[in-house]
Amino acid sequence: MTATGLPRWLFVPATLGLLFVVVPLVAMLLTVDWATFPSLVTSPASLDALFLSLRTSAAATILCILLGVPLAVVLARSSFRWISVVRGFVLLPLVLPPVVGGVALLYTFGRRGLIGEHLDALGIHIAFTTTAVVLAQTFVALPFLVTSLEGALRSAGSRYEDVAATLGARPTTVFRRITLPLVLPGLVSGSVLAFARALGEFGATLTFAGSLQGVTRTLPLEIYLQRETDPDAAVALSLVLILVAVVIVVAVYSRRKDRPL
Amino acid sequence: MSLTVRARVTARDVDIDLEVAQGEIVAVLGPNGAGKSTLLGVVSGLLRPDAGRVELDGRVLTDTATGVTVAPHDRSVVLLAQQALLFPHLTVAGNVEFAPRSAGAGRREARVRAVRWLREVDAAELADRRPHELSGGQAQRVALARALAAEPHLLLLDEPMAALDVTATPVLRSLLRRVLRDSGRTALLVTHDPLDVLALADRVIVIEAGRIVEDGPVRRVLTRPRSAFAARIAGTNLVTGTVRGEALESANGLVHGRVHDDCVPGTAAVAVFAPSAVAVYTDAPHGSPRNALRVRIAELEAQGSTVLVRSDTGIAAEITTAALADLDVHPGDSVWFVVKATEVGIHPAALRA
């Protein structure tokens, strides 16, 4: 790949943009107190938060796949009139402040919420439980999976599906044996992105699920809390999240390049 | 009647009425965007006509009047397109097994059928390869095996050779000839190449601006095209006959030419040459040109700066108006048509006399 034809001055703002992302990370790395780092990240509160985050994010990712794959397929393959409006609603959590999402969820699944009211009558309480954390994370992460997968479905096109159909395969067979395998790379990267977004979720979780250690206090909440009392612990935990994020980004983008599909 | 199609697709301004007999192979010609793919889409069920009816072997597949629309997977109509479109995540064998598996065959039985069809298209040794490891010609052969493994009642071929290189095209063409003609399959073949039409089709329809503007036997449409489109790609001389060594034995005598590798002595073939390759003489030509045919002029047709001299045998010569003035010949006169053997191609033919 050569950079012929690129105006030279373009490299100045491009470098500034890169530095803008990298320098804060370096600044944080420089403040990490490596002597106390192991004990800070292995304190009971930290470990509780880390494992809760991993558990809820994994559950949210599975929920995103179960709901998001059908949604992406419908969005990519249907041509009914209001499809763009539907797509707009699906993407809404991307632009909505997470706190607003949390409030909305509270008015849906809270004790006096639209659905929560009826669930409450059945003895099911969702708000301020670990389930609420998973729902909040799913709410904000779903559009990441849907957009990523819808893009993959659109670029794959429906030609293979048409061929499969004329070869006598029923729609379910086509979906299972052709559609899904063809967009598997898109599904994997979409799921990883959704997992990463779930892992970083803060506003909706705090609003809808609260901050109870071991139950709803995920890693980002723990970091925010520690920042008040023990900044060193906050920095150490932030580093853990950065590490997870780096692993995810590398995993997704190195995969994409060597797939000539 | 094996296939009847009546379809109107308003958005694409297509209005087509077509009947195809059992075992008939109909070539569909026409400029891009004329409605050929729309026709195939309606028949395969991938496209719903605004009004129309499709019936295959007595079964109604589409009928807008009664609201019948049989899904594509339930039609027994398979499409072979310009691109092979082999499923990239399956092996060659997996691709060919796809249709039998979808129809409910077990793993082992599907495998047996895949091997049989791969052998049929001379691709048995490719079974374990991945689609991206195949050449264009190989991929199209596998796609043909995959289509045939579905055992369709009707095969739709949408320019199956258009994306192949010059060496792969004749191989696939003779393969199609073998598997289509010899097994009496019903097929619609969209093509731009008169050689495909000659080798494979019984009948030609020409679609222009969404309407069938010409419909007739291959020989008539290719030699005396009525539509502008057919005239552009055809308008060629065809002499039918039987292969005899390095020549074709026809009612007009022996025609020498370049004999195509697929021609088997004693079988039907057709000599193809352009009217512009034919020279006209009033006296017996000197020397010993290999192809000199004694013909009677049937009509003269002015075509701008040239004139088409049609003979009573159907063979035409294209000469300049100046040359015609020098010859001073008229309809009814006997003349000699002379063609160099190097200008004549002798191809295997599907033509029925």
DSSP A144-184: HHHHHHHHHHHHH-SHHHHHHHHTT--HHHHIIIIIHHHTH
Q: B112 vs chain A: nearest CA distance in angstroms?
A: 17
Domain shared by B283 and B337, yes or no: yes
Closest CA to B192 of B161, B149, B153, B225: B161
Same domain, B174 and B125: yes
How far apart are the C-alpha atoms of B261 and B243, rounded to whole Å? 12
pLDDT at B353 over 50: no
Q: Please, what is the Cα angle at A218 between A213 and A222, to 5 degrees?
A: 70
Judge contact between B148 and B119, C-beta under 8 A. Answer: no
The residue that leads in pLDDT, A193 or B182, is A193
Same domain, B142 and B262: no
Instruction: List C-alpha distances in Å: B146 to A37, A160, B105, B142.
Output: 61, 13, 15, 6
User: Do residue B253 and residue B149 come from a single domain?
Assistant: no
Higher-pLDDT residue of A102, A253? A102
Q: B113 vs chain A: nearest CA distance in angstroms?
A: 14
| Chain B closest-CA separation from residue A178 CA (Å) | 7
Q: And the tokens for A181?
A: 């395998």
Say which of A170, A182, A261 has its CB closest to residue B73. A170
CA distances from A242 to A15, A26, A196, B108, B109 (A): 21, 11, 11, 51, 53
Cα–Cα distance, B8 to A252 (Å, whole number): 48
Q: In angstroms, rounded to a whole number, what is the distance separating the alpha carbons of residues A163 and B95?
A: 11
Cβ-Cβ contacts under 8 Å, A168 against chain B: 73-74, 76, 99, 102-103, 150
Say which amino acid occupies A178: I
User: Quick one: pLDDT band at residue A258, thresholds 50, 70, 90?
Assistant: very low
pLDDT for the residue A255: 61
Q: How far apart are CA B234 and CA B217, in angstroms?
A: 13
Identify which has the larger pLDDT, A2 or A174.
Answer: A174
- pLDDT-derived band at A260, boundaries 50, 70, 90: very low
Looking at the fold, whether B196 and B70 belong to one and the same domain comes out as: yes
CB-nearest partner of A168 from B73, B83, B89: B73
Measured on CA atoms in the order B26, B32, B12, B222, is the torsion positive or negative? negative
The DSSP secondary structure of A27-75, one letter per residue, reads HHHHH--TTTHHHHHTSHHHHHHHHHHHHHHHHHHHHHHHHHHHHHHHH
Q: What is the pLDDT of residue A133?
A: 95
Partners of B280 in the β-ladder: B337
| Measured distance CA(B139)–CA(B135) in Å, rounded | 6
Give residue A2's pLDDT: 55
pLDDT at B350 exceeding the cut of 80: no
B75 contacts A166? CB cut-off 8 A: yes
The CATH number given to whatever domain includes residue B335 is 2.40.50.100
Residue B120 lies in a domain: yes
* B159 and B176 part of one domain: yes
Find the CB nearest A165 among B73, B85, B132.
B73
Domains held by chain B: number: 2
In angstroms, the separation between the Cα of residue A260 and the nearest Cα of chain B is: 10
Q: Give the residue-averaged pLDDT of A226-241.
A: 89
**Contact: B88, A182; criterion CB under 8 Å:** yes
Residues of A in contact with B73 (CB under 8 A): 165-171, 174
- Residue A144 distance to chain B (closest CA, Å): 25
According to DSSP, the β-strands at B211-217 and B3-9 are: unpaired
Same-domain pairing of B193 and B130:
yes
Instruction: Give the tens place of pLDDT for each residue, B217-251.
Output: 888 787 777 777 776 667 778 888 888 888 888 88
Is the alpha carbon torsion for B164, B166, B168, B171 positive or negative? positive
Are B295 and B202 in the same domain? no
Contact by Cβ (8 Å): B246, B254 = no
Calculate mean pLDDT across residues B46-54: 92
- Domain-terminating residue out of B202, B218, B236: B236
The values of phi and psi at residue B20, to 5°, are: -125, 130
Q: Cβ atoms within 10 A of the Cβ of B101, count?
A: 23
CA nearest A168 in B: which residue? B73
> For residues B206 and B227, what is the distance between their CA atoms, to the nearest angstrom?
8
Q: Cβ–Cβ of A163/B71 closer than 8 Å?
A: no
CB atoms B102 and A173 under 8 Å: yes
Residue of B nearest to A178 (CA): B87
**Distance (Å) from the alpha carbon of A173 to chain B's nearest alpha carbon:** 7
* Token reading at B316: 């035409």
Do B249 and B112 sit in the same domain of this protein?
Answer: no
- The whole-number pLDDT of residue B289 equals 65
- CA closest to B144 among chain A residues: A167
Last residue of one domain, picked from the residues B193, B213, B236: B236
B222/B249 same-domain check: no
Highest mean pLDDT among A2-6, B125-129, B280-284, B302-306: B125-129
Domains of chain A by range and CATH?
37-257 (1.10.3720.10)
Which amino acid appears at position B14 of this protein?
V
Q: Does the structure show a pLDDT above 80 at A188?
A: yes
Query: Any CB–CB contact under 8 A between B103 and chain A?
Result: yes
Assigned domain for B62 exists = yes
Torsion (CA) B127, B131, B135, B141 in degrees, nearest 10: 60
- Asked whether B188 and B21 are in contact (CB, 8 A), the reply is no
Average pLDDT of the residues of chain B: 87
Coil, strand or helix: which one is B329? coil
| Residue at which a domain ends, from B236, B265, B293 | B236
Q: How confident is the model at residue A251 (pLDDT cuts 50, 70, 90)?
A: confident
| Beta-carbon contacts of residue B316 (< 8 Å; ≥ 6 apart) | B223, B237, B275, B278, B308, B309, B310
Tokens read off for A24: 């804060």
pTM comes to: 0.76
> Is residue B37 situated within a structural domain?
yes
Same domain, residue pair B258 and B183: no
Q: Do A181 and B89 touch (CB under 8 A)?
A: yes
- Judge: B98–A167 Cβ closer than 8 Å, yes or no: yes
Burial (Cβ within 10 Å: 0-12, 13-18, ≥19) of residue A82: exposed
- Phi and psi (nearest 5°) for A192? -65, -40
pLDDT at res. A259: 46
pLDDT, one tens digit per residue, over B282-314 is: 888 776 667 888 889 888 888 778 888 888 887
- CB atoms under 10 Å from CB of A62, counted, come to 15
Q: Could you tell me if A255 and A190 are in contact, meaning their C-beta atoms sit under 8 angstroms apart?
A: no
User: Domain with B154 in it: what CATH number?
Assistant: 3.40.50.300
Q: How far is B151 from chain A (nearest CA, A)?
A: 9
Tell me how far apart the alpha carbons of residues B76 and B57 are, in angstroms, rounded to a whole number.
10
Q: ipTM of the predicted structure?
A: 0.77
Q: Which domain holds residue B320?
A: 238-348
Q: What is the 3-state secondary structure (H, E, C) of B226-285?
A: CCHHHHHHCCCEEEEEEEECCEEEECCEEEECEECCCCCCCCEEEEEECHHHEEEECCCC
Do B98 and B227 fall within a single domain? yes
**Distance between CA A208 and CA A100 in Å, rounded?**
10
Chain A residues in contact with B77 (beta carbon < 8 A): 166
Task: Tell me the DSSP string of A106-136.
Answer: HHHHSTTSTTHHHHHHTT---TTSHHHHHHH
In a domain, B79, yes or no: yes
Q: Measured between beta carbons, which residues in chain A are less than 8 angstroms from residue B75?
A: 166
Task: Assess contact for A173 and B99: CB atoms under 8 A.
Answer: no
Flag whether B353 is in a domain.
Answer: no
Residues of A in contact with B88 (CB under 8 A): 182, 261
Contact map slice: B 235-274 vs A, CB within 8 A? none
Q: What is the DSSP letter of B64?
A: T
